[in-house]
Amino acid sequence: LVAACAVDAHSFVFPVAYGVLETESEESWTWFLHNLRRAIAHPNGLVIHTDACQGLEVAVDNVFPGVKHRECMRHLAANFMKKFKGKVYTDNLWPASLTCSVKKHNYHLRQLYMNPKVKEYLETHHSKLWARSQFSEVSKVDYVHNNLAESFNSTIRKLK
Task: Give the gyration radius of the chain's Cα atoms.
Answer: 17
**Which residues of the chain are under the pLDDT cut of 70?**
146-153, 160
Domain that holds residue 16: 2-159
Q: What pLDDT, on a 0 to 100 scale, did the predictor assign at position 157?
A: 75
Angle at 49 between CA 82 and CA 78, to 5 degrees: 10
Is 98 strand, coil or helix? helix
d(C-alpha 90, C-alpha 93), whole Å: 6
Residue 154 is predicted with a pLDDT of: 75
Our CA angle for 6, 9, 13, nearest 5°, is 35
List Cβ neighbours of 83 (8 Å cut-off, separation of 6 or more). Answer: 121
The torsion angles phi and psi of 102, rounded to 5 degrees, stand at -65, -40
**Residue 58: φ, ψ to 5°:** -65, -40
Q: What pLDDT does residue 7 have?
A: 83
Percent of the chain at pLDDT above 70? 94
Helices (H) and strands (E) in the chain, counts: 7, 4
The end-to-end CA distance of the chain, in Å, is 7
Q: Whole-prediction pTM value?
A: 0.83
Domain count within the chain: 1
Cross-strand bridge partners of residue 57 = none
Give the model's pLDDT for residue 147.
67
